[in-house]
Amino acid sequence: MLGNFSYVNPTKLYFGEGSLARLKEELPKYDKA
């Protein structure tokens, strides 16, 4: 048994045609510059 813990891993997945094009919308949300 590992004991008490909390784990959060929010993930958004895009599948299908045009999925890579969505990066230009998503990446700026995580820009720390």
pLDDT for 32 equals 80
pLDDT at residue number 1: 67
pLDDT at 15: 94
Q: What are the pLDDT tens digits along the chain (33 aa)?
A: 679 999 999 998 999 999 999 989 888 988 886
Q: What is the pLDDT of residue 12?
A: 87
pTM, 2 dp: 0.45
| CA nearest neighbour of 27 among 6, 5, 9, 12 | 12
Q: Write 1-4 long-range contacts (CB < 8 A, 24+).
A: none
